[in-house]
Chain A
Amino acid sequence: MNDFSILVVDDEEAMRESLAAWLKKEGYRVELAGSASEALKKLEKNPFSLILLDIKMPGMDGLELLSKIKNSDPQIMVVMITAYGSIESAVQAMKNGASDYLLKPFDPEELVLLIGKLCRQKALSDENIMLKERLARQEENRLDDLIGQSREMREVFEKIEDLSGTETPVLITGETGTGKELAARAIHTRSERYSGPFVPINCGAVSRNLLESELFGHEKGAFTGAVQARRGRIEMANNGTLFLDEVGEISSEMQVNLLRVLEKGRFTRLGGNRELSSDFRLLCATHRDLEALLETGAFRNDFYFRINVINIRIPPLRDRRDDIPLLAFHFLKMFSKELGKGVEDLSAEALKMLKTYDWPGNVRELKNVMERAVVLSRSDTVGKEDLTFLARREAGPAAGDSLKEVEVDHIERILGENDWNISRSASILGIDRGTLSRKIKKYNLSRGG
């Protein structure tokens, strides 16, 4: 059957039955509703590509139903049909978001052309979303490739290549900033799901309540502020890859919910009744020691074994110092081009500083440092003097530093190491999100120094 599904809503049984039989001959999946309330029930259970909606019906009429449908799902296509056509109702229907308008009885040629046009429109819109996602992915890959020539990183690359063509769940471990998401993207782009979406979510960056809605989506009115229905990340990842970053932050209850989705492939949006399905591959990452969390009971055994079929450990930058010059030059070129600065080289002293520094924030910290160095550099070479802030980081606060300077430096460092993730940085600093946000504003801090 065609995956273009149509709901016919008409109070005249003969009309809807014969229209449905005719559409089925075209290969469309067709369902029927004899009233607005029946239509709303069907829409709760199944998504449809197109609704053929009669305007004149007893009880709630087609125009009112159209508003309700569009209010809950603006993307759905609705064609109004009526035997009582008038310019006024046509104008009203189009204003309320109808895709088109047909007068009963229809000219068969007109009906076929219209449905064919809407079918192509939907295919184009789906393709457009997929291409945008792919473009964004390519852009991100271009800017931020997983780079390394050290033995440790070559082992990581080999493992990623070995995983191409498999559907196995993978757990990527490593310290913050080592490039776990880049590894996940690399696994996705080498898989057969490449043409599907890569949908990442940082489970540590959203509150527990919000995470449920982010993952499962919600129906309109599911909670205060849910003004319209929204697809969750699980739904968005259909035919692609779902990447749960910082999976160690997920609560036990959420682990149970996710386990159910992984086992059945089906789920419901928050506040909804209809069961939806999503076919996705799961990749997870964490900087935490999940085995220690298993012992304390904070992480469930069943969920752990489900997500940790294959483990890839990304080494910290201090354990692969040979990669530092390669990465430093990569970021130097990238930011020099991006900022139009013409900085092309690193002095020997600057390189030595980079190689001896401990990089607690790993590649992400190196990237931020290089961006700052390129911004500060006044010649075509980044020198030792452009990295003085690095020396201060390593040395810790100097005797002459004021309390404010120490605080600013420390906050900046933690933010940089955590990719400006406010929740995570606040947690490391031992303050709440609001306090950190106020300090960022007060000290006028921003990404990239």
Chain B
Amino acid sequence: MSKRADKGESRPCRIVRVAPLGIVDDIAVSVVAANIQMMFGLPVDIEPTQSCPEHTILQARCQYDAAGLIDFLAAGQGNHAMRLGVTAEDIALPFLTYVYGEAGIGGNAGVISTCRLEKSRKGPDVKKSKVYERTAKVAVHETGHLLGLLHCGRPECVMSFSAGLGRLDELPLTFCSRCRGFLRQNCALPG
């Protein structure tokens, strides 16, 4: 169903800045940084924690607007860096009830939330290791978008769209050969 974006010019190696927003589990932030470094071979920095800006709250819904958070994170960013916000707040888009993460294709900022990753499909909380695994998948998926990848139609690829935790748990933390090839041409992908 989905295909990759036009390749365009090859990008220079970009640094990824992981930005904790509000009270967020330190280990989850480290997991995000480690997985991005490992999966993309890019240098990663962890920024100091800062609050989620109040103006990004979707008032009637007690959620943060992912698009607003992305605008906040992107402000002042050049093309040489990408910023990935990590928050424990529930995030959504004006037209969607929730998102696990959001990033524009080829953009310079994205955001992920661990809020809904801590639940099992039936309700009770899941083990921390499962939460970190889900967090890593969402972070790698959104970083893939920042590097120009669209959703992938292959279920064996982490860029496949996952609506729901069941589908997210089925996703492997790997790229298919086509997405891997695209990344190899656009950033220093290892191996």
Contact = CB atoms under 8 A, between A and B. Distances in A.
B161 A112 contact: yes
A27 B97 contact: no
The interface centre, meaning the residue of B1, B3, B151 with most chain A CB atoms within 10 A of its CB, is B1
Interface string B159-178: 00101100000000000000
A253 to B, nearest CB: 42
A13 B93 CA distance: 13
B183 interface: no
A108 B94 contact: no
Contact of B96 (A22, A24, A25, A27): A22
A105 B163 contact: no
A26 B163 contact: no
Given A24-B105, A26-B151, A116-B1, A105 B67 contact: no
Contacts of B105: 21, 24-25
Give the size range of A's interface with the partner: 20 to 34
A119 B96 contact: no
A106 interface: yes
A18 B2 contact: no
Interface in B92-134: 92-99, 104-105
B136 interface: no
Contact of B163 (A25, A27, A113): A113
B73 interface: no
Nearest to A14: B94
Contacts of A106: 95-97
Contacts of A113: 163
A108 B98 contact: yes
Contacts of B1: 2, 26-27, 116, 119
A102 to B, nearest CB: 9
Interface string A74-108: 00000001000000000000000000000011111
Given A21-B104, A26-B151, A27-B150, A111 B2 contact: no
Interface in A104-148: 104-109, 111-113, 116, 119
A22 B150 contact: no
Contacts of A116: 1
A1 B1 CA distance: 9
A2 B96 contact: no
Contacts of B164: 109
A15 B145 CA distance: 20
Given A18-B93, A18-B95, A105-B94, A26 B2 contact: yes
A105 B164 CA distance: 16
Interface residues of B, number: 22
B3 A109 contact: no
The interface centre, meaning the residue of B96, B105, B161 with most chain A CB atoms within 10 A of its CB, is B96
Interface in A1-31: 1-2, 12, 14-15, 18-19, 21-22, 24-27
B94 A25 contact: no
A22 B2 contact: no
B94 A2 contact: no
A18 B163 contact: no
Contact of A1 (B3, B95, B153, B161): B3
Contacts of A15: 94-95
Given A22-B96, A105-B92, A2 B163 contact: no
A7 to B, nearest CB: 15
Interface in A37-78: none
B151 A19 contact: no
A253 B117 CA distance: 67
Interface string A142-182: 00000000000000000000000000000000000000000
Given A21-B104, A107-B97, A27 B92 contact: no
A340 B79 CA distance: 79
Nearest to B164: A109
Given A14-B94, A18-B93, A113-B163, A108 B99 contact: yes
A23 to B, nearest CB: 10
A227 B33 CA distance: 62
Contacts of B145: 25
A27 B67 contact: no
A303 B75 CA distance: 61
Nearest to B58: A105
A74 to B, nearest CB: 26
A81 B95 CA distance: 10
B96 A108 contact: yes
A27 B96 CA distance: 18
Nearest to B167: A109
Contacts of A26: 1-2, 150-151, 161
Contacts of B93: 18, 22, 105
A104 B60 CA distance: 13
Q: What are the 10 closest A-B residue pairs judged by CB atoms, nearest first?
A: A27-B2, A109-B163, A27-B3, A108-B163, A112-B163, A105-B97, A19-B95, A109-B164, A107-B97, A108-B96
23 contacts: A1-B3, A2-B2, A18-B95, A19-B95, A22-B95, A24-B105, A24-B150, A25-B145, A25-B150, A25-B161, A26-B1, A27-B151, A27-B153, A81-B95, A104-B95, A105-B93, A105-B94, A105-B95, A105-B97, A106-B96, A108-B99, A109-B163, A111-B163
Given A26-B2, A108-B98, 14 more contacts: A14-B67, A19-B95, A22-B95, A24-B150, A25-B145, A27-B150, A27-B151, A104-B94, A106-B95, A106-B97, A109-B163, A109-B164, A112-B161, A119-B1
